[in-house]
Amino acid sequence: TVYPPICFPGKLKCCSLRPLTFFLITVLLVFFGMGVLSPRISMLETKSEGEGEATRKPTEMQVVKLPRMLYPQPMVMTPSRKDVLVLTPWLAPIVWEGTFNIDILNEQFRLQNVTVGLTVFAIKKYVVFLKLFLETAEQHFMVGHRVHYYVFTDRPADVPSVALGEGRRLVVLEVPGAARWQDISMSRMQMISDFCERRFRREVDFLMCVDVDMRFSDHVGVEILSPLFGTLHPGFYRAARQAFTYERRPQSQAYIPRDQGDFYYLGGFFGGSVAEVQRLTKSCHQAMMADRANGIEAVWHDESHLNRYLLDHKPTKVLSPEYLWDEQLLGRPAVMRKLRFMAVPKNHQQIRN
């Protein structure tokens, strides 16, 4: 390109060389940047045969190819559900059927290559629930993902043999029983906390803690995964906070005043990352030990302490009552489009005895 000379009045010399100088500097910078400042270009080049070492592909970078997915566009002005609350005041999603696309979520968590741990306590005669629990988990829980079932029991010989899918394993952890079912329930927090440190942190990415006297009846998958989640109690999801059965005695570490509280979370389904679950269980165990030293026991034991913890440490995701329901007691309201994890009909007193 030929630039016309640019002259200014009162100047003895023209400035016609300035654009040409700028052009040459630009060319040099581009050339220099491609050769020196962009090491990716030379790193990705492959040598031709006969040049130095044998021809090889670069190993420094991993190319991730996502499948082409087709799904309806999310519409900003159209809420996924209008009949239920889908977001907490601290911006944690509340998971209901119709609020997520499981295909998108499955692809995202497969890219992360996650392994999910599921802890369950089968102490004394509660071991009778294990077979149905594990068989239905194989049908509905984290299908297509790696799963470790951790069964805490005082009767390892009575753990049933259940066929497991690829990438899924059963680990039996022998632990002592206890005289009272309340002590069994409360000891879970200590045992889970201890095993988080001893092995869970090295073996799984997320950890779920659930009751054994249940069965999976529909899909429960990666939509629940989050750093910390709790599950709405099916008996209180419509109730005002004043009606929640929190621990109301100020002497207890689980105490929650009547003018406080977000939701009432049940003790039979909580979880998150291993690190967060360890913090939760350790804190609840320490609070229960403090109560014991003061001669008090929270009204609903570990569940009361769980609610105190989740009030102070807001969960990053909340599961709707779809994720633990008792159809025999509560029927099936219209808002429950799916019943995913359900109580097994039983005689509690007979089992405890």
Q: Which residues are annotated as a binding site for UDP-N-acetyl-alpha-D-galactosamine?
A: 121-123, 126, 211-213
**Amino acid identity for residue 291 in this structure:** D
Buried b / exposed e along 21-39 (16+ C-beta atoms within 10 A): eeeeeeeeeeeeeeeeeee
170 with 134: CB under 8 angstroms? yes
Pairing assessment for the beta strands 317-319 and 228-231 based on DSSP bridges: parallel
Tokens at 271, concatenated? 């979880």
Active site residue 322: no
Which residues belong to the annotated binding site for Mn(2+)?
Answer: 211, 213
CA distances from 296 to 190, 260, 287 (A): 18, 21, 11
CA 80 to chain centre: 21
Active-site residue (options: 223, 247, 276, 303) = 303
Indicate the SS3 state at residue 225.
coil
d(CA 153, CA 192): 13
Give which of 271, 310, 265, 267 is closest to 150, Cα–Cα.
271
Tokens at 63, concatenated? 């190319």
Bridge partners of 255? 247
Which residues belong to the annotated binding site?
Answer: 121-123, 126, 211-213, 233, 245, 303, 326
Pairing assessment for the beta strands 214-216 and 168-174 based on DSSP bridges: unpaired
Catalytic residue positions? 303
